[in-house]
A and B are shown apart, each in its own frame.
Chain A
């Protein structure tokens, strides 16, 4: 197991307080992903898949428990260092492309590099032009997101998530809004890039067909504890 980009989460509990009282959004005794591997997270709606991903990415605080990525216990980091860790080590793809609508394709990618700035990973990042060429989007680099199809936009979103060569890629149902063909392309892209970069990939999906393309599937249930199912790669 490569330790540099392994993910280890233990005793995770996420509670939300609402007018109706406290709602438990996630309870997970242990969640471990070997560095450089990929894993699909599945489970019924409301079981906490996205919450788990948010906690792992440092976008949300667990009520209790720890999350460690590589050597860094990010659940214990102050906000500023968590942001710094996120920009250096993480790449994220969502069901919505979340591209900035007023930036062209290459600017969306370039912005990620600009945000990373000096906090870049030790590996040399991709250049927007090269990456877009590789993804077959070179001719669309000057276009604004609303001038692209849904599949193209999601591919740009994947490109943005990996352009700075993150150690870990989180993808939350990246194909949820796409047709089968586009979904297939996006998944292949994600897996290919993750392999090339030796990054760890955690993908949340509802689609078993997508899940089975990954090395491991973790199924979350509504009631804890989370069961784990290992699948041969």
Chain B
């Protein structure tokens, strides 16, 4: 019965029903949209994180060259033995290779249950005498027995007797035997499974579920002058790769320029083919470390300058560092294993030789990314499962580098941070929706007081009214939630793109829908119910006028003061504890961004406290403007306005709170997005070195010298500057020590205007002074703090620099240290020293810049596009140039947080905020009409014209809108500043807070337009009111 009455009541008052439902729909819609948005974004994080990976997994073969020895262990008798039984332990060391193993040591230690019988040891049948203990575990060490050499193709038999101390089962663990040699210093356990050949291993791994491909790769560093052809020798050290055509075909960074791969031929890098003037069909002679050589026919020429899979460092200390060698050659895996490996084995086993860089053999594994879950956490579980399966194939003979799982682990951390961040950024919107629902409920419940009074007169008890309220709230909230759910999905889909959202699993979306609806339902429903209940509990006859003059609860409880105290104390505590200093994320260091998300309470506290303070100010100012009582009332409009807002300031104040909250949210998000975008652009510019980086790759038709940077100054390009830089291109030597290092040679005159140098990067001088020193002092060099510490060098010290290390032009020059620096833009792999490029080419005349940095005339996206277009039509049209920009650097950023679609979230929040803004103004205006319709009708009956009434409504609504908008901008500016400060670790460089004034025009303009529109609509309603009915009602 009650339900029927409530439903009929809702249907009879469609405007009231719809406006309340709209508040709920916006709340639930926002909750759902944010959760869907997070789902969609998480769904793209896996894709984003793994995209830059060149190799998903690497199975590195640990078998060293010259380490082909095997040690077999067996027992006689085998199986179960009884206490006191004597067992013969037999060890057979076999060298199946064709080279001798040196300094072979065998170690054998029986388990505690097996006691060594002194004097029982034999070597090839002969007794080993002179030992009072086990000669294979001799002394306290215990040391093994040195056999000396193990000649090629021989087997050495070792034996001894052990006595069982108790009943036991004999297996490999009963005796711990191993061997080592000079060639393979790491002890190898007895009975280790035989090494699976690389090709077989690749074949087996490729069968593992989840593996798309497993291809073998061998690589080795050769010394200078290892490659020669046509009587010319490539003087620089060379790098030799063993890979097949399939490997190359699946690696787009191996760019064949001419010819192709062949089983018995070789592919030369462009640079080495130029150095030796070798063409397809020519013979290349490869000199190997055992002083032998082999010839191979050139079958192709390739640009390898960007082949990350080949040139990424395999050393644990600098994994992922791109160490390019211009002098490179690719042969087939068969040629590599037949020609190169034996030569290295021979070199390694030759007496007196010391092999520093033995060949590396690995299986490069590509995971089938199509089946990876969109969420990084789930994808990581999948890749770890694949890694375990890969590791189980021929286990214990090598180790696995699981790059993809490592990357996904970082992405998982980032995704978690992102989710929390988004929920925090979205939370204010949710609060707002609940407040709006409560505000709507308050305004509308006020209008229902009369109905409730009538029902009470007819016998309805408080319990009846509460049940009706519960039914009404549940009905409105359920219907609003359904609409909100659809609205949220559509909006998230529109902003994020349907494809991104579709990547999220159905179960995840369903969970988000459930959580969003539940959260929205509870928050808005509770807000509606509580306000309705408060109205029921009010004394029915309580005077409306007294209610409208009543100071609101938040003001009486001084919540604004409490909020301010929370902000001040929280900020002071955070500053004191350095809580705003988080750690930036780094895939390189396997570290996710660390954000102290509890600090996000501060911007939200600023938001609430600021809005309440603004309302207090508005209320107080309006209250003070009320005129003293007099019978001589002036012109009706100003008098009525002043009396109305002066005597009922909290109606304006409460409306202004909601508008302030909305405008502040829009403002803060706009400020945060603007700062976020600017900071990310700055980070990318810092990593690139400038706006544009131009590399004249090996395929470039012409050479670009230091003095030809002007070629790249085209329309939209302000300045171009040449740079010489590569990894370990010099050796730095101080009075104490030396080390290979990365030297950057720059043009001091132009580098400062293209690169975003910061004064705090130069602790000993500012950036300009440091560059001026390089320009004026021919012997000046700047050294990184880190390198200075390593070299134990200080300012003024002489530094010996071996320039053009490993080339024909290498030369050592003495410089003196004129300054230090922390880090430099444009060198992600780090720069250890910096000098003038003019000094560099004075000593190394043949050297051309490795790249040019160019800055655009304007910093925005349009300026970059313009510069790119002009470069594309100019120098890049005439030659093959590799051009990267700050925009492509952002796209390549492996950090998942770089993929955060903050702008999308802001669009989402802003859309809802703007909708709420309209609804708030509408509720305020129509709420005024509901509460004051009798006043307006009385004024009409007294002879006040409709225009004046319309202006009166507009003036009150305008006061709310303008006060709310002004306060909102102020509060939002502070809130946005706190957002940026708290989220500082998202950026590499300290972000500066920027507020885009143009973006603010939308919420402010909209609130004013909504005021005008609602006032006009409201005035029409006043005109349609039935004065005869209203005036006689009590």
Chain A residues engaging chain B, CB cutoff 8 angstroms:
50-51, 53-54, 57, 59-60, 79-80, 83-84, 86-88, 90, 92, 94-96, 98, 100-104, 106-107, 109-117, 119, 127-129, 141-142, 144-146, 160, 172-173, 177
- CB closest chain-A residue, reference B941: A92
Contact of A100 with B938 at beta-carbon distance under 8 Å, contacts A83-B943, A114-B636, A146-B546 already known? yes
Q: Given A98-B938, A100-B938, are A106 and B548 also a contact pair (CB < 8 Å)?
A: no
- Assuming the A-B contacts A83-B943, A95-B1032, are A100 and B935 also in contact, with contact meaning beta carbons closer than 8 angstroms in the complex? yes
A54-B1027, A127-B631, A128-B631 are known contacts. Are A111 and B942 too (CB-CB below 8 A)? Answer: yes
Q: Which of B548, B636, B1027, B1028 has the most CB of A within 10 A?
A: B1028
- In the assembled complex, the Cα of A92 lies from the Cα of B632 at a distance in Å of 21
Q: Is the CB of A177 within 8 A of B639?
A: no
Q: Which of B245-253, B580-588, B641-649, B878-886 contacts A (4 or more CB under 8 A)?
A: B641-649
Q: Is the CB of B941 within 8 A of A57?
A: yes
Contact B1028 A112 (CB under 8 A): no
B938 shortest CB reach to chain A, Å: 4
Measured CB to CB, the closest approach of chain B to A63, in angstroms, equals 14
Q: How far is the CA of A83 from the CA of B941 in the complex (A)?
A: 8
Query: Is B466 among interface residues, defined by CB-CB distance under 8 A?
Result: no
Chain A to chain B contacts (Cβ below 8 Å), 21 pairs: A53-B1028, A79-B946, A83-B944, A84-B945, A87-B942, A90-B943, A92-B1031, A101-B544, A101-B548, A101-B935, A102-B548, A102-B647, A103-B647, A104-B629, A107-B630, A110-B632, A110-B633, A111-B639, A114-B639, A115-B636, A173-B1032
**B935, A80: Cβ atoms closer than 8 Å:** no
For the complex, give the distance between the alpha carbons of A194 and B49 in Å: 89
What A residues does B1032 contact at CB under 8 A?
Answer: 50, 94-96, 172-173
Contact A60 B1027 (CB under 8 A): yes
Q: A141–B629 contact, CB under 8 A? A: yes
Interface core residue of B632, B633, B934 (most chain A CB under 10 Å): B633
Which residue on chain B has the smallest CB distance to residue A110? B633
A101-B544, A141-B631 given; 8 more Cβ-contact pairs under 8 Å: A54-B1027, A90-B943, A94-B1031, A96-B1031, A101-B548, A103-B647, A106-B630, A128-B631
Closest to A94 in B: B1031
Chain B residue numbers with a CB within 8 Å of A84 are 943, 945
- Closest chain-A Cβ to B829's Cβ sits at a distance in Å of 73
Q: Mark B114-156, 1 if CB is under 8 A from A, else 0.
A: 0000000000000000000000000000000000000000000
Tell me, in angstroms, the Cα distance from A51 to B1031 when the chains sit together.
12
**Given that A104-B629, A172-B1031 are known contacts, is A115 also in contact with B548, CB under 8 Å in the complex?**
no
Hey, which chain A residues are within 8 Å of B938, CB to CB? Answer: 98, 100
Which residue in chain B gives the minimum CB-CB distance to A173?
Answer: B1032
Docked Cα-Cα span, A209 to B645, in Å, equals 43
Greatest chain B CB density within 10 A among A53, A95, A102, A104 is at: A102
Q: Which of B648, B942, B1033 contacts A102 (CB 8 A)?
A: B648
Q: Once the chains are docked, how many angstroms separate the CA of A116 from the CA of B945?
A: 11
Say whether B942 contacts A115, CB under 8 Å: yes
Q: B934: which A residues are within 8 A, CB to CB? A: 96, 98
**B interface, CB within 8 angstroms of A:** 543-546, 548-549, 629-636, 639-640, 643-644, 647-648, 934-935, 938-946, 1026-1028, 1031-1034
Cα A60 to Cα B1032 in complex, Å, equals 14
Contacts of A160 in B (CB 8 A): 942
Bound-state Cα–Cα, A92 to B937, Å: 12
Chain B residues lying within 8 Å of A111, measured Cβ to Cβ, are 633, 636, 639-640, 942
Contacts of B940 in A (CB 8 A): 59, 83
In the complex, the answer to whether B945 meets A102 with C-beta atoms within 8 Å is no
A117 contacts across to B, CB distance below 8 A: 635-636
The residue of chain B having its C-beta at the shortest distance from the C-beta of A204 within the complex is B1032
Known: A59-B1028, A60-B1028, A111-B639. A87 touches B634 (CB 8 A): no
| Given A88-B943, A100-B935, A102-B644, CB of A113 within 8 Å of CB of B548 | no
Residues of B within 8 A of A142 (CB): 629
Inter-subunit contact B941/A96 (CB<8 Å): no
Report the bound CA distance from A92 to B940 in whole Å: 11
| Nearest opposing residue in chain B for A90, CB measure | B943
Known contacts A60-B1027, A127-B631; A177 and B944 CB within 8 A of each other = no
The docked-state distance in angstroms from the alpha carbon of A57 to that of B942 is 11
Closest to A142 in B: B629
Whether the pair B630, A110 counts as a contact (CB closer than 8 A) is yes
Question: What separation, in Å, do the CA atoms of A116 and B635 have in the docked complex?
Answer: 10
Q: Which residue of A lies closest to B948 (CB)?
A: A115
For the complex of A and B, 5 pairs with smallest distance between CB atoms: A87-B943, A101-B545, A128-B631, A54-B1028, A110-B633
Chain B residues contacting A95 (CB-CB under 8 Å) are: 1032, 1034
Q: How far is the CB of B626 from chain A (nearest CB, A)?
A: 9
Residues on the B chain within 8 Å of A60, using CB: 1026-1028
Closest B-chain residue to A132, C-beta based?
B631
Q: Are A98 and B1031 in contact (CB under 8 A)?
A: yes
Which residues of the partner chain A approach B1034 to less than 8 Å between Cβ atoms? Answer: 95-96, 177
Nearest B residue to A103 by beta-carbon distance?
A: B643
A106 pairs with B545, CB closer than 8 A: no
Q: How far is the CB of A29 from chain B (nearest CB, A)?
A: 21
Chain A positions within 8 Å of B1031 at CB level:
59, 92, 94, 96, 98, 172
Residues of B within 8 A of A94 (CB): 1031-1032
**Chain A min CB distance to B144 (Å):** 103
**B545 CB contact (under 8 Å) in A92, A114, A145:** A145
| Most chain A CB atoms below 10 A, which of B633, B648, B943 | B943
Q: Which residues of B contact A102 (CB under 8 A)?
A: 545, 548-549, 643-644, 647-648
Contact: B943 with A115, CB < 8 Å? Answer: yes
A47 to B934, CA, bound (A): 24
Distance of A115 Cα from B944 Cα, bound (Å): 6
Tell me whether A107 and B941 are in contact in the complex, defined as CB-CB below 8 angstroms, given that A51-B1028, A146-B543 are known contacts. no
Chain A residues contacting B939 (CB-CB under 8 Å) are 100, 115
Contacts of A79 in B (CB 8 A): 946
Partner of A114, one of B546, B634, B644: B634
Q: Hey, which chain B residues are within 8 Å of A145, CB to CB?
A: 545
Contact indicator B631/A107 (Cβ below 8 Å): yes
User: In the bound complex, what is the Cα–Cα distance between A79 and B946 (angstroms)?
Assistant: 9
Please, how many angstroms separate the alpha-carbon atoms of A141 and B629 in the complex?
A: 9
B94 to chain A, nearest CB (A): 105
A114 to B1028, CA, bound (A): 23
Q: How far is the CA of A141 from the CA of B635 in the complex (A)?
A: 20
B629 & A106 in contact (Cβ 8 Å cutoff): yes
Whether the pair B640, A50 counts as a contact (CB closer than 8 A) is: no
Q: How far is the CB of A54 from chain B (nearest CB, A)?
A: 3
Please indicate the chain A residues that have their CB under 8 angstroms from the CB of B1027 in the complex: 54, 59-60
**Are A146 and B633 closer than 8 Å at their CB atoms?**
no
State the Cβ distance, B622 to closest chain A Cβ, in Å. 12
| CB nearest neighbor in A for B645 | A102
Bound-state Cα–Cα, A119 to B630, Å: 21
Residues of B within 8 A of A87 (CB): 942-944
Q: CA–CA, A59 to B633, complex, Å?
A: 25
User: A107 with B633: in contact, given A50-B1028, A114-B639, A115-B944 (CB under 8 Å)?
Assistant: yes
With most chain A CB atoms within 10 A of its CB, the pick from B631, B633, B639, B647 is B631
Candidates B639, B935, B941; contact of A59 at CB < 8 Å = B941
Expressed in whole angstroms, the Cα–Cα distance for A127 and B639 within the complex equals 18
Q: In whole angstroms, how far apart are the Cα atoms of A88 and B942 in the complex?
A: 9
| A146 proximity list for chain B (CB < 8 A) | 543, 545-546
Minimal beta-carbon separation of B542 from chain A (angstroms): 10
Min CB–CB distance A200 → chain B (angstroms): 17
* CA distance in complex: A117, B647 (Å): 24
CA distance A116 to B942 in the complex (A): 9
- Measured between beta carbons, the chain A residues less than 8 angstroms from B548 are 101-102
Contacts of B631 in A (CB 8 A): 106-107, 109-110, 127-129, 141
Residue of A nearest to B546 (CB): A146
Bound form: Cα–Cα A144–B626 in Å: 14
Residue numbers in B under 8 Å from A86 (CB-CB): 941-943
Chain A contacts of B946 at CB under 8 A?
79, 83
Q: Which residues of B contact A88 (CB under 8 A)?
A: 943
